[in-house]
Structure 1
Amino acid sequence: MSRIKRWLNMHGKEFNADGTLKDEVRQQKLFRGSDPGAIDSYARRCKAEYDEWKRLDETDPEPWPVYTAYDFFTAEEKRQFNPDGSLNPKYVQEALDKGISEGWLEEMERRKKFEVDNYNRVSEKHAEQGINFGAWQMRGRIGNSTTYVQRRQQMEQDLRNFEDVDSLPFDKDTVF
Structure 2
Amino acid sequence: MSRIKRWVNMHRKEFHPDGTLKDEARQQMLSEGMNEGAIDSYARRCKAQYDEWKHLDEIDPEPWTVYTAYDFFTPTEKQQFNPDGTLRAEYVESELRNGTSPGWLEEMERRKKIEVDSYNRVSEREAALGINFGEQEMNRLRASSQTYVERLKQMEVDLKNNEEPSTLPFDKDTSWF
Fold conserved between structures, TM > 0.5: yes
Structure 1 counterpart of 2:30: 30
Deviations 1:117-173 (A, max 9, x none): 11111111111111111111111111111111222233444556x373354433445
CA–CA distance in 2 between the matches of 1:88 and 1:150?
36
Report deviation, 1:18. 1.8
Show the 5 A alignment for 1:26-175: 26-158=26-158, 162=161, 164-165=163-164, 166-174=166-174, 175=176
Q: Give the counterpart letter for 1:138 in structure 2.
A: M
Deviations 1:31-89 (A, max 9, x none): 33211111112112211221221122122211111111111111111111111111111
Q: Give the counterpart letter for 1:170 in structure 2.
A: F
SS at match of 1:13: coil
CA RMSD across the alignment:
1.8
Q: Give the counterpart letter for 2:163 in structure 1.
A: D
What's the TM-score, normalizing by structure 2?
0.89
Change over 3 Å in CA distance of 1:99–1:146 after alignment to 2: same
CA–CA distance in 1 between the matches of 2:58 and 2:9?
19
| Identity, % of aligned positions | 67
SS at match of 1:16: coil
Change over 3 Å in CA distance of 1:130–1:163 after alignment to 2: farther
Question: Unaligned 5+ residue runs, structure 2?
Answer: none
SS at match of 2:64: coil
Q: Give the counterpart letter for 2:6 in structure 1.
A: R
Report deviation, 1:98. 0.8
Deviates more, 1:20-29 or 1:63-72: 20-29
How many pairs does the alignment contain?
Answer: 175
Question: Unaligned 5+ residue runs, structure 1?
Answer: none
Change over 3 Å in CA distance of 1:5–1:164 after alignment to 2: same
Structure 1 counterpart of 2:5: 5
Deviates more, 1:49-58 or 1:131-140: 49-58
SS at match of 1:153: helix
CA–CA distance in 1 between the matches of 2:103 and 2:168?
44
CA–CA distance in 2 between the matches of 1:155 and 1:37?
61
CA–CA distance in 2 between the matches of 1:68 and 1:55?
29
Q: Give the counterpart letter for 1:101 in structure 2.
A: S
Q: Give the counterpart letter for 2:46 in structure 1.
A: C
Deviations 1:8-31 (A, max 9, x none): 111012112221212232233223
Q: Give the counterpart letter for 2:121 in structure 1.
A: R
CA–CA distance in 2 between the matches of 1:163 and 1:42?
61
